[in-house]
Chain A
């Protein structure tokens, strides 16, 4: 084919064909879009201009047992920029007002450049109210800049309670995959009550529909808000904590390492709960806590670790009452059962030391003056297997079921345990002697000790220790109590009477190991202990309950690396008891 002719009819036909192809192509595409797929486009278009805006539900707040506020919420202001409509020449002024360095905004916008420029970026959280007012007044001059309000935790009520309350963190991508009902930017409880009661506290986010333009700028409500759904506020928590007692306990542990748990004996309600050192929840409130968490996690004192329910220690002599009760139950100990303490006990070719030379010692004196010799003999008479089983009845060697979780079961050794650790027949009865005085492999948590103290106080009957006792339902404030299971061991009351009176003597008698904490108006029953620590100075332990006749509080105190319990732990318990009973009186008179 040879066609090199100007404006030939072939060329005209080719031109016409091109025009025809384009024409039919467009008509085809238009029919497809506007007739065949019309409904699909219509649905998409209406989704487009109507935007669903989530409204965050206020998180439930925390009350103490007398409805004093422990933790609440407060508004915090965040500056956001939408790059599509933002004028970068305003960077300088904004940086100056926010008190940030040069290129602060530029760097953030650069870091987040991958996202759609129609989505707003968080520039700075927690800006001051003064700046908020300034921006409101100058809004017109800063297109694409907006201030959004977020609720954050308010910890300004005098209680730190870091290990009780826990903290919140923005949900991360991994969690988001698992938890379908959360959105980007939502906060989630990480520890403590914030985590345990997350489902109650978070409430239910609402939403409203708005009409938006291409800049995602709201231009009014959709259908006057007919389809809007208001958020449901999270449930408030009613803690078992007593404000005054908790505050006192935190004060007393300010420069100490250790833990304290105080329990209302009959109900298992935790009145005070401290793990020291604490961490400062106020620093978490601002949501700029990443560096603070990092600092805490490398701190050698391990402030993030919950010492009250997670750390395990040998209970020391505080464990002696358990063995004594077992002796009574097994009818081994009677009025004539006694030892002559010559400052220790010879077993095989080893000599197990006592604290003093106690001479003739019966059960009461053995507890009052903490004689080891008496218990060395007793455990040999009782045997390991019975002792292990009996320990379980007091909640040792297993988790208590504490509502905040994050607890250790502790260790109560039995035959199998020793066979596993040392091998069959490679351990002798000598190992038992350490157990008799609460040392050796025996390990317990302070929480378990407090439960044990509660059982002793209340004649072997209490409830699972817990720190939250009820919800106040978000939108109705309906009071919904939480039920907890009973913990009991059916021992005759007379056995407890004997042990309790001996514990009273620990404080009341001049020879008692905790006589130093005797109060004129309150009868305290207690028991000192020293938890042997192979890594350093021993830990001081003390358990107690008061008032002796009708106990209202049982408490366990452990002070790390402090030495003897009577001297270092007992005064703390005494002050807690006094504070609580005083607070109880005050509240009773008010009510």
Chain B
């Protein structure tokens, strides 16, 4: 298998070019969304500068000696914790969350930068020969290391980012070879609960899926029945707990399930984004011609709702292009991870991949109205320097590993 791989290839253009293309699409969208908006003047120019900085950061990471990256791991983790504590002390509150630090004229989001340290430390802990995640003690140590940054972000509070961190942790555990049955046991109640939001039919369907998987694992009947009961009660427990929620919390869940229930309040953004995308049609309304975008119906559309700008002005063609470009990157990253024999590097690549997939899925899902509104950006496209620089740095590291992969063979 591995022999078919072209080892002389030191730079993977099938990752780099789609990403550059995505950044350009993002800039087009930002230009369009801020064109008519007096409060966001200069956003396009600022993001263009950021794009150049980010590409430079990519190459710096690409050329870093692998040895330094290894040594960096523990320090990046400690630095991440420091800035996460700092933001809670001196951070600026934006949209109800304390997630920004301002140094002079430059502001950045520590939770974005801390992703680097987080991926590295988990990958490092899972790589160590002495540790086996299938052992309870080692597993707990791992959880402890992850829990510190997650709790700090929870205090900001930034639920969206917490979700990303948890996904990365689980993906890395999964990749490192943790017993699939454990994964199944932990994930299935969440899966059933989520399905139950969409009615009884979805709930029953989810339970059937769980049942089929149970047969696949061939555990004894006692374990099978207990797991089915846990799953069933997850959905009922939610229904029960729902009654104890405050009205505004219930409303948020309702709005997610049915955005039209509150068209001018919480469901407003979802509804407007859906209208923008749906009304774009097959070919789109044309650059700077999307009236939803140009009349700025969606607040801060150039950040979390950038996908709806492209969806409206470039239609189905534009939207599908974005999805395909992302999927190309994902599949390539998965392949590289699969072909890298160094465990640490393979895990870091999976961490980066998971980071991108979760951002991609939640962000576009939210734009299409199939995921709840949590404020997380679309990688490479959304306005914002921190996220772009971090993502490009991580890709640079991945490319660095890719370049050196033959050294491990």
Binding site for B on A (CB under 8 A): 1, 3-12, 14-16, 18-19, 22-23, 25-27, 29-31, 33-35, 37-38, 40-42, 44-46, 48-49, 116-119, 211-215, 219
Contacts and interface: CB of A to CB of B under 8 A. Distances in A.
Given A4-B177, A6-B177, A29-B370, A35 B295 contact: no
Given A11-B175, A214-B299, 4 more contacts: A3-B180, A6-B175, A7-B346, A213-B297
> Which one of A1, A41, A119 has the highest number of Cβ atoms from chain B below 10 Å of its Cβ?
A41
Given A15-B334, A33-B368, A45-B275, A116 B291 contact: no
27 contacts: A3-B180, A4-B178, A7-B177, A7-B346, A8-B177, A11-B174, A15-B353, A16-B331, A19-B334, A22-B357, A33-B368, A34-B280, A34-B311, A38-B279, A38-B281, A41-B274, A41-B275, A41-B277, A44-B279, A45-B291, A48-B275, A48-B292, A49-B295, A119-B264, A212-B295, A213-B296, A214-B299
A23 B357 CA distance: 11
B323 interface: yes
Nearest to A10: B180
Interface stretch (B140-148, B313-321, B388-396, B397-405): B313-321
Given A11-B174, A42-B279, A1 B315 contact: no
B18 interface: no
B272 A214 contact: yes
Contacts of A10: 180
Given A1-B217, A4-B134, A116-B265, A30 B368 contact: yes
B161 to A, nearest CB: 20
Contacts of B176: 6
Nearest to B1: A9
B160 interface: no
B157 interface: no
Given A33-B274, A42-B278, A27 B320 contact: yes
Contacts of A33: 274, 277-278, 368
Contacts of B360: 22
Interface residues of B, number: 56
A211 B350 CA distance: 48
A30 B320 contact: yes
Interface string B273-294: 0111111111000000001100
B327 interface: yes
Interface in B228-266: 262-265
Contacts of B297: 48-49, 213-214
B57 interface: no
A219 B278 contact: no
Nearest to A18: B357
A46 B296 CA distance: 14
Residue in B179, B180, B334 with the greatest tally of chain A CB atoms within 10 Å: B180
A26 B323 contact: yes
Contacts of B268: 116, 118
A333 B59 CA distance: 127
A35 B282 CA distance: 6
B376 interface: no
Contacts of B368: 26, 29-30, 33
Contact of A23 (B279, B281, B299, B323): B323
Contacts of A211: 295
Nearest to A30: B319
B99 to A, nearest CB: 22
B264 A23 contact: no
Contacts of A35: 281-282, 316
B361 interface: yes
A23 B334 CA distance: 15
Contacts of A4: 134, 177-179
Contacts of A1: 180, 216-218
A12 B279 contact: no
B343 A34 contact: no
A27 B323 contact: yes
Contact of B364 (A9, A12, A26): A26
B375 interface: no
Contacts of B179: 3-4
Contacts of A117: 264-265
A37 B217 CA distance: 42
Nearest to B134: A4
Nearest to A29: B368
B330 interface: yes
Contact of B281 (A8, A26, A34, A119): A34
Nearest to A25: B370
Contacts of A16: 331, 334
B265 A7 contact: no
Nearest to B324: A23
B298 interface: yes
Contact of B315 (A15, A18, A29, A34): A34
A23 B275 contact: no
Contacts of A40: 278
Contacts of B330: 19
Contacts of A49: 291-292, 295, 297
Contacts of B276: 45
B264 A116 contact: yes
A131 to B, nearest CB: 28
A34 B295 contact: no
Contacts of A34: 277-278, 280-282, 311, 315-316, 319
B298 A214 contact: yes
B206 interface: no
Nearest to B278: A41
A448 B343 CA distance: 106
A19 B357 contact: yes
A9 B368 CA distance: 32
A11 B134 CA distance: 16
Contacts of B175: 6-7, 11
B337 interface: yes
Q: Closest 9 interchain pairs by CB?
A: A41-B278, A116-B264, A45-B279, A34-B316, A33-B278, A214-B297, A6-B177, A41-B279, A42-B279
Nearest to B291: A49
A31 B265 CA distance: 27
A25 B364 CA distance: 11
B304 to A, nearest CB: 14
B240 to A, nearest CB: 26
B278 A31 contact: no
B282 to A, nearest CB: 6
Contacts of A38: 278-279, 281-282
B264 A219 contact: no
A40 B278 CA distance: 8
Contacts of A44: 275, 278-279
Contact of B292 (A11, A22, A45): A45
A44 B292 CA distance: 11
Residue with the highest number of chain B CB atoms closer than 10 Å, among A22, A34, A49, A118: A34
Contacts of B316: 30-31, 34-35
